[in-house]
């Protein structure tokens, strides 16, 4: 089961996205309930927006959608909801894109690496725990303690490669 969800190409490959979304939402509800954190309407809606596709969305893109649906229209509205989701492991921040994406396996694995297709902008999350470990060892030798690790790869996904995108 973990295997099923952590397959690197999951997001790029065709899959039952309805269920993919529903699962993620359910996990979110459970996790937040357990932590006594509140999945308020804006926060929930923000997560839903991120889950719509496997693309990363900019904060302002999220904001626009939220505003159109009657939520606040100022940047902090989006940034706060996104930050909340990130803090609770339900979304990730992509440094290379100044953007955010829903976490695809919030239940397990907490050291993801991202594969970002530069053509379709979809992204996949692959387990990177072992990368963290390896790098962790190497840096510990030098007295450096890793607290957070960002691994982001930009490239070309199978679909776009096949479609002949340069």
Partner DNA sequence: TAATCAATGTAATAAAATAACAAGTCAACC
Partner DNA sequence: GGTTGACTTGTTATTTTATTACATTGATTA
The residue ranges that bind DNA (CB under 7 A) are: 37-38, 40-43, 58-60, 71-77, 79-81, 84, 98
Of 33 and 158, the one with the shorter C-beta distance to a second copy is 158
Q: Residue 156 binds which entry of DNA, a second copy, none, with Cβ cut-offs from 5 to 8 Å by kind?
A: a second copy
Least distance in angstroms from the C-beta of 55 to a second copy: 15
Q: Positive or negative CA dihedral for 70, 18, 89, 57? A: negative
List beta partners, residue 122: 55
**In the window 83-112, what residues touch a second copy (CB under 8 A)?**
95-96
Q: What are the DSSP calls for 100-133, one per residue?
A: EEE-S-TTS--SEEEEEETTT-BEEEEE-HHHHH
Q: Residue 72 binds which entry of DNA, a second copy, none, with Cβ cut-offs from 5 to 8 Å by kind?
A: DNA
Of 121, 116, 103, 5, nearest in space to 47 by CA = 103
**In the window 12-31, what residues touch a second copy (CB under 8 A)?**
12-13
Of 70 and 143, the one with the shorter C-beta distance to a second copy is 143
C-beta neighbour count of 57 within 10 angstroms: 25
């Amino acid at each position: 089961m973990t295997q099923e969800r952590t397959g690197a190409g999951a997001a790029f490959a065709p899959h039952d996205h309805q269920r993919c979304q529903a699962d993620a939402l359910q996990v979110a509800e459970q996790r937040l309930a357990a932590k006594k954190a509140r999945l308020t309407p804006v926060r929930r809606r923000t997560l839903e927006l991120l889950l719509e596709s496997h693309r990363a969305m900019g904060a302002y893109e999220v904001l626009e959608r939220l505003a159109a649906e009657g939520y606040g229209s100022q940047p902090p509205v989006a940034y706060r909801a996104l930050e909340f989701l990130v803090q609770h492991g339900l979304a990730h921040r992509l440094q290379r894109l100044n953007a955010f994406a829903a976490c695809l396996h919030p239940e397990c694995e907490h050291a993801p690496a991202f594969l970002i297709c530069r053509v379709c902008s979809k992204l996949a999350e692959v387990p990177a725990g072992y990368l963290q470990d390896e790098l962790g060892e190497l840096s510990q030798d030098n007295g450096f303690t890793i607290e957070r690790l960002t691994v982001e790869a930009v490239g070309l996904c199978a679909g776009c490669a096949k479609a002949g995108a340069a």
